[in-house]
Chain A
Amino acid sequence: MTARDLARVGAVIGVGESDYVGDHARVRAGEKPADSYGYAADAFRAALADAGIGRDEIDGLIVGPTLAYERTGEILGINPRWGGQADAMLAVIEACMAIRSGLAEVVALVYGNDQRSAAIQYGGPEAMGGNMFLSYVYHAPWGFTSQGALYAMMFRRFGELTGCTERDLGEVAVAQRHAASLNPHALMRKPITIEDYMAARYICEPLRLFDYCLINDGGVVLIIAEAERARKMARKAPVLIHGVGRSDLNRGATSLEPRLLEFYRPAQEACAAQVYAMAGVGPEDMSALQIYDSFSCHVPFALEGYGYCRPGDVGRFMREDGIGLGGRIPVNTGGGHLSESYMQGWAHQVEAVRQVRGECGARQVAARGAGDSRFVHYNSDVAGKAVSIIYGS
Chain B
Amino acid sequence: MANSAAVLSMYDEPMWESIRAHDWHLQQCDDCSEWRYPPGPCCPKCLSPRSTWRPLSGRGEIASWVVFHRQYFDNWPPPYNVVAVKLAEGPLVISNLTGPEPEGSWIGRPVEVAYGTDAAGTLLPQMRLAE
Contact = CB atoms under 8 A, between A and B. Distances in A.
A79 to B, nearest CB: 41
Interface string B60-74: 000111111110110
B107 A157 contact: yes
Nearest to B70: A203
A296 to B, nearest CB: 15
B31 to A, nearest CB: 18
Interface in A208-222: none
A30 interface: no
Interface residues of A, number: 36
A257 B44 CA distance: 13
B16 to A, nearest CB: 9
A162 to B, nearest CB: 12
Given A125-B5, A255-B37, A143 B67 contact: no
A142 B63 contact: no
Interface in B82-131: 82, 84, 91-96, 105, 107, 118, 122, 124, 126
Given A140-B5, A260-B84, A123 B67 contact: no
B90 to A, nearest CB: 10
Contacts of A88: none
A124 interface: yes
Interface string A123-151: 11100000000100111111111100100
Interface of B is mostly: loop
The contact size tier of chain B is 35 or more
Contacts of B44: 251-252
A309 interface: no
A153 B70 CA distance: 15
A143 B84 contact: no
B122 A146 contact: no
B96 A142 contact: yes
A254 B38 CA distance: 7
Contacts of B73: 124-125, 140, 143, 145
30 contacts: A123-B72, A124-B72, A139-B94, A140-B6, A141-B122, A143-B68, A143-B75, A143-B76, A144-B82, A145-B4, A149-B66, A152-B66, A153-B65, A156-B66, A157-B63, A157-B64, A160-B105, A204-B66, A204-B67, A204-B68, A204-B69, A205-B66, A206-B66, A251-B44, A254-B38, A255-B91, A255-B93, A257-B92, A260-B92, A261-B92
A261 B107 CA distance: 12
B84 A256 contact: yes
A154 B3 CA distance: 25
A149 to B, nearest CB: 6
A140 B118 CA distance: 11
A252 B92 contact: yes
B1 interface: yes
Contacts of A157: 63-64, 84, 107
Contacts of A254: 37-38
A129 to B, nearest CB: 14
Contact of A125 (B1, B7, B69, B92): B1
A142 B66 contact: no
